[in-house]
Amino acid sequence: MSSCVTTPHHHHHGCFSGSRRRRRLLQAPAPRARPLHVVAAAAFLKHVAPPPRCAVASRAMSAEAPLGVTPAAAAAEGEEMVAVVDEMAEEAAVWCAVHGLVVGDRAEPHFCHHLQRSGTLPGVGLVHAPFALLPTRFPASFWKQARELAPIFNDLVDRVSLDGEFLQDSLSRTRQVDDFTSRLLDIHAKMMEVNKEEDIRLGLHRSDYMLDSETNSLLQIELNTISSSFPGLSSLVSELHRRTLLNRHGKVLGLDSKRIPQNWAATQFAEALSMAWTEFNNKSAVIMMVVQPEERNMYDQYWLINHLKESHGVKTIRKTLAQVEAEGQVLPDGTLVVDGQTVSVVYFRAGYSPNDYPSEAEWRARLLMEQSSAIKCPSISYHLVGTKKIQQELAKPNILERFLNNKEDISKLRKCFAGLWSLDNEEIVKTAIEKPDLFVLKPQREGGGNNIYGHDLRETLVRLQKEQGEALAAYILMQRIFPRASLTHLVQGGVCFEDLTISELGIFGAYLRNKDKVVLNNQCGYLMRTKVSSSNEGGVAAGFAVLDSILLTDEVILHTN
């Protein structure tokens, strides 16, 4: 799923107001005399090769020539860089088309019939996925920390999933005010009643982080346990930056392509799915990917399908929840059969949002799959572990000790936890009403566009306090994270523009267990998303962010004093 992100200091937001510069790609070049581009190019130079101790936004945007450099020389240098940017943007757009870094077209409203087909028919209505033209600088020490956390979070999800009472108790108040969570808990309770055991458990997770410039630390935004999207396309963006753009232009830009880490997310997710298929031990069985009826992000999914077929000889079928209900059945021995084919692994790329369940048919499909002996990725219990409320519960004192024995692992997890509170905490709620810009209000929803900020946060909290009902349990409060903003060239819909951005790093993790044997527990690649700093949301599929990669640096300080 596309997850949401928090935003930087509000004073960053005005720095670039009214100054966004766009260039349409793949057209006749504009005249050479472009004074605005001189400014853009000078800023671009400072962005890609900033001085030690990161420059703040105002310095990054400065177009002043360095001491000893004439304005004419600076202008010439700026023009040269503009030409490089234009060339790179065109190269990149072509590379995306040739290498499958594409999504369904979201373009303009009057193409609505075309849009509908672009989300249902492969090969119809493609556009390049939105991307950053150059990788984002990221300290190697925090990269190492994020990667080391993945296996610990994988293990934690598995252990929490086995404690059905903890999940039911922790979400008991949420279910009273959130119909969607209530329906998920109903399915979970039915599985508990019949003592349903998942001998083979597969998790494909993604833990999302931001670098907080206030505390100089890596803080977790959320942990995704269902539909962790973009392993396919994120792998391609890393290749675009590393092997294509920096290999050719790296010397001019002062950037080393070797500092972009390899990203094997697509192949490693596919390998984890194939290993689960192998553990199921039925060579005639298929993997079933559960998808939305109109899926703009289908090509990210097809990368996994292709890897499964070409590298592992495993067939994948794609079905909506409605199709599963119409075509599926569970045999007396627990075997799940859909459209006449035995299903070994159910891989959810849908089912995380109330919008995915427009009728009772979809809920019947979800229950049917859960009752079967097929491996669920995720199972209903894994799904519930990824809820915002469980994230908040796990951050409470002494709760991690309930599930983990290794004190060092517990310490590593706690170090990355941002402040998380229930709305029962009157003192925190009072502080949030007084200083709403320091908090984010999160409902139990996935997929982007759901979080509440600023003035809206204050109004919502005041209203909830007046109502004094169970509605408080539908939300959690989270510390707002303030990442450093930097100037970035973004490419969306064939247009290259420059803006102040912030970034969020997602680390993919794969976990496979068969009874007492841990078959696989790894971190496996990453997703870097970059978005305009004035946007409160961060989902790529939801249209808020672009795909990016990281350029590892030796810096350890995220802000200047």
373 token code pair = 């002996």
Tell whether residue 350 is among the known ligand binding residues.
yes
Give the DSSP H or E segment for 488. Answer: strand 486-492
Residue 425 annotated as part of some ligand binding site: no
- Is 171 in contact with 422 (CB distance < 8 Å)? no
Tell me if 368 sits within 8 A of 360, measured CB to CB: no
From the CB of residue 420, how many other CB atoms can be counted at a distance below 10 Å?
20
Q: Using CB atoms within 10 A of its CB, is residue 417 exposed (0-12), middle (13-18) or buried (19+)? A: middle
The answer to whether the annotation marks 398 as part of a ligand binding site is no
Cβ–Cβ under 8 Å, residues 561 and 145 = no
268 is in an annotated binding site: no
What does the radius of gyration of the chain's CA atoms come to, in whole angstroms?
24
Residue 78 marked in a binding site = no
Helix, coil or strand: residue 283:
coil
479 assigned ligand-binding residue = yes
Whole-angstrom distance, CA of residue 226 vs CA of residue 370: 14
197 annotated ligand binder = no
227 annotated as ligand-binding = yes
The answer to whether 484 is annotated as binding is no
Q: Do the annotations mark residue 24 as ligand-binding?
A: no
301 is in an annotated binding site: yes
- What are the residues whose beta carbons fall under 8 Å from the beta carbon of 242, sequence distance 6 or more? 135, 257, 260, 262, 549
The answer on whether 555 is annotated among ligand-binding residues is: no
The reply to whether 480 sits in an annotated binding site is yes
360 is in an annotated binding site: no
**Does 396 count as an annotated binding residue?**
no
Per DSSP, helices labelled H in 171-262 are 172-177, 179-193, 231-239, 246-253
279 is in an annotated binding site: no
Q: Is 447 annotated as a binding residue?
A: yes
What is the distance between the alpha carbons of residues 184 and 266, in angstroms, rounded to a whole number? 29
Active site residues: 206, 222, 224, 229, 388, 442, 446-447, 529
CA distance 428 to 414: 20
282 is in an annotated binding site: no
The answer to whether 141 is a known ligand-binding residue is no
Q: What is the DSSP string of 443-482?
A: ES--SSS--B-HHHHHHHHHHHHHH-SGGGGGEEEEEPP-
What's the length of the chain? 561
For 548, phi then psi, to 5°, come to: -150, 175
Phi, psi of 4 (to 5 degrees): -90, 160
Question: Is 116 marked as a binding-site residue?
Answer: no
How far lies 1's CA from each of 183, 308, 370, 382, 455, in Å? 19, 21, 20, 15, 27
Annotation-wise, does 263 bind a ligand?
A: no
The reply to whether 206 sits in an annotated binding site is yes
The Cα 301–Cα 278 span in angstroms is: 20
445 is in an annotated binding site: yes
Q: Cite the annotated binding site for substrate by residue number.
A: 206, 226-229, 295-297, 301, 349-352, 529, 540-541
- Binding-site positions read 206, 222, 224, 226-229, 295-297, 301, 349-352, 388, 442-451, 453, 478-481, 504, 529, 531, 537, 540-541
Binding residues for ATP: 222, 388, 442-451, 453, 478-481, 504, 531, 537
Binding residues for Mg(2+): 222, 224, 446
